[in-house]
Amino acid sequence: MARRRLVYEGKAKILYEGPEPETLIQYFKDEATAFNAQKKAVIEGKGVLNNRLSEFFMTGLNAIGVPTHFIRRINMREQLIRMVEMIPVEVVVRNYAAGSLSKRLGLPEGQQLPRPILEFYYKDDALGDPLVSEEHIVAFNWASQQDIDDMIALALRVNDFLSGVFLGVGIRLVDFKIEVGRVYDGDFQRLIVADEISPDSCRLWDIETGRKLDKDVFRQDLGSLADAYTEVARRLGVMPRNAARMNAGPKLVN
């Protein structure tokens, strides 16, 4: 079989050339990174779970008319996606204070915000993805004012959808990040949700117990990340058939 052309390799995913024009194959790795890749580990099964979970969220978004890059899942670790021109900005939506917002403004973690708060971060690893304003985005030509308005509308719809889905399974969506890309349909262009939506890019707290079910488990050494993601997948009914065994493996006994 011919070797596929690698288009891009990131921290948690690899992009390969797709089978048709304007498509890519997105491969989910088991690598976990945090603090701008200063902390790294391989979490067995994470890629499989995130592939499934991102498929689940993107399929739901497509179904309610929020356009995404997702076309179909190919196998345990890969999905077919539309090629997009990435906007070099991360869009964060927050419903409760946590993480960098709590630090920056001295808000207690878990405090409900008066309304969803939207932030933009400039995607630049060397700079550590700094917080930027709409002024920066337009002035430096990363996106137009119209693009910003479209990104805000997309992100708020994603927030309503995800908040509802998680609420239904007893999970609080504290905050999340999305990335957005541009596609061209003939003379028209539009922005669609790209990258991934998974517990790597959300803060998810169990509503009853407050247990963290997202990448903070890894950032803060709170236990098994694979167990946390498996719990999210199980509650959403998107467990891969062999997931129960996936992390079990043979165990060394004394």
Q: Which residues bind ligand UDP (CB under 6 A)?
A: 90, 92, 98-101, 129, 175-177, 201-203, 215
Cβ closest to ligand UDP, residue 31 vs residue 129: 129
Residue 237 phi/psi, 5-degree rounding, is 75, 25
> What is the C-alpha separation between 168 and 55, in angstroms, rounded?
18
Smallest distance from the beta carbon of 82 to ligand UDP, in angstroms? Answer: 21
Cβ closest to ligand UDP, residue 15 vs residue 246: 15
Rounded-to-10 torsion of CA 231, 232, 236, 242: -50
Cβ closest to ligand UDP, residue 46 vs residue 177: 177
Q: Pairing mode, if any, of strands 171-185 and 131-132?
A: unpaired
Smallest distance from the beta carbon of 95 to ligand UDP, in angstroms? Answer: 11
Smallest distance from the beta carbon of 21 to ligand UDP, in angstroms? Answer: 30
Q: Point out which residues pair with 62 in neighbouring strands.
A: none
Coil/strand/helix, residue 156: helix
Residue in this structure with the two tokens 């194959």, named with its chain if needed: 25
Q: Which residue is nearest to ligand UDP (CB)?
A: 99
* Cα–Cα nearest to 94, from 20, 175, 31: 175
**Neighbour count for residue 187 (Cβ, 10 Å):** 5
Coil/strand/helix, residue 207: coil
> What is the C-alpha separation between 248 and 238, in angstroms, rounded?
18
Cβ closest to ligand UDP, residue 18 vs residue 119: 119
Q: Say how many CA atoms lie within 13 Å of 36 toward its Cβ.
A: 8
Residue 252 phi/psi, 5-degree rounding, is -80, 125
Cβ closest to ligand UDP, residue 18 vs residue 195: 195
Smallest distance from the beta carbon of 116 to ligand UDP, in angstroms? Answer: 13
Cβ closest to ligand UDP, residue 98 vs residue 236: 98
Cβ closest to ligand UDP, residue 11 vs residue 235: 11
Smallest distance from the beta carbon of 31 to ligand UDP, in angstroms? Answer: 14
What are 86's two structure tokens?
A: 């990435």
Smallest distance from the beta carbon of 89 to ligand UDP, in angstroms? Answer: 11
Q: Which amino acid is at 37?
A: A
